[in-house]
Structure 1
Amino acid sequence: MRDDAPNFIKDSADKKIASAVRQEINGGKRVVDLPFLLSSGGREHEIRRILSGMEFTLSSPLMPHSEILKWLSEQIDAGHRQLADGAAQKCRSFH
């Protein structure tokens, strides 16, 4: 869920998350929460609050991770190449 979602959406989602986790725990299962978090310092604190009193494992954020940083760098380089190629094509079309 987005951090900037309206409170009524966050509240509804929080209740659904807590209910689903509680149901799995009550069924004897171990819960591992794998939210798609790019960085720390935000939503994971909310997840811990929502699931307080329950036993669960929370995954780490995706960043900083050397492979993601490598991928981002590759994407930026590819974008620069596309911009350069596009600029070169425009220059050729004016001649």
Structure 2
Amino acid sequence: MKLLVFGDLMEKINKEYDVSRVTAYSMASKIVNKCPKRLYINIMEWIQGDSISDIYISDYSIPMILSIWKSNDFLRALEVMMDLSQSKFEQAEFKIWEMRR
């Protein structure tokens, strides 16, 4: 699954975040290596332009975080979810509620 997602993820990052291909490659590598498998569904939905499903980790999901932020910064929300998956609860909650200010 990782190899299938990587190329598409890199292209999506390059397009949506208007970064160089080198930067997109680096960002995609970090995500694919750190992201829990259950969030791959959200990554695929984002790549395909579909609605993002609620997949909860510690009472949060990507759509919930984006709603709290009133934002569409998928990668930042994914980063928070990866923190939650690694039990970095305090760090993740700070990021969630910091963006609200």
Q: TM-score, normalised by structure 2?
A: 0.26
Higher gyration radius (CA): 1
Q: Which of the pair has the greater relative contact order for Cα pairs under 8 Å at 6+ separation?
A: 1
Counting strand residues as a fraction of each chain, which structure ranks higher? 1
- Give the TM-score normalised by structure 1: 0.27
Structure in which a larger fraction of residues adopt helix: 2
